Amino acid sequence: MQKIAREINFSETTFILSDVPQKRGYDVRIFTPQKEIPFAGHPTLGTAYIIQKEIIKKPVKNVMLNLRVGQITVALSYRGGKVSRLTMKQMEPIFGRRFDMQNLNEATPLPLPFLAVLSFLCGYSFLQVLMLFHRTGFLH
């Protein structure tokens, strides 16, 4: 799967392992060109859509995906017999380290101050950076 994801070279590639549900959900793995990842939002929604359309082949209220992060339920809404909206409930974020603003502001060449930098996990690690922007644009 990793070799295929590397060859396709999309930001994420999903693989549906079977057309038969396991533990009420479909086993799915997600890969970037570099590695397997436990969760990614847009690929999860897109994969649920494909499972409903190509495997289940009839309207259903929910599609459950068994991902490395755990089971994710995707809710499907319909209009005119076609899927019109997909929503999911992912794991609650786990907040990690909050970084020292004085050290970051001294170390960066950007003329804008960092307000907050913190890490969090929603199945995949993220770093959130909050900066003060002027209304007239990023840089003058």
pLDDT per position as a tens digit, 19-49: 999 999 999 999 999 999 999 999 999 999 9
Give the angle subtended at the CA of 44 by the CAs of 41 and 45, to the nearest 5°: 90
Stretch(es) of the chain classified as CATH 3.10.310.10: 2-89
Question: Which residues lie closer than 8 Å to 110 by C-beta, 6 or more apart?
Answer: 131
Q: Could you report the per-residue pLDDT of 7-20, keeping only the tens digit for each?
A: 999 999 999 999 99
Domain 2-89: state its class: alpha beta
Q: Which two structure tokens, joined as six digits, stand for 56? A: 């289940």
- Nearest-CA neighbor of 12 among 124, 94, 90? 124
**pTM summary value:** 0.76
Q: Would you please indicate which residues are annotated as catalytic (active-site) residues?
A: 12
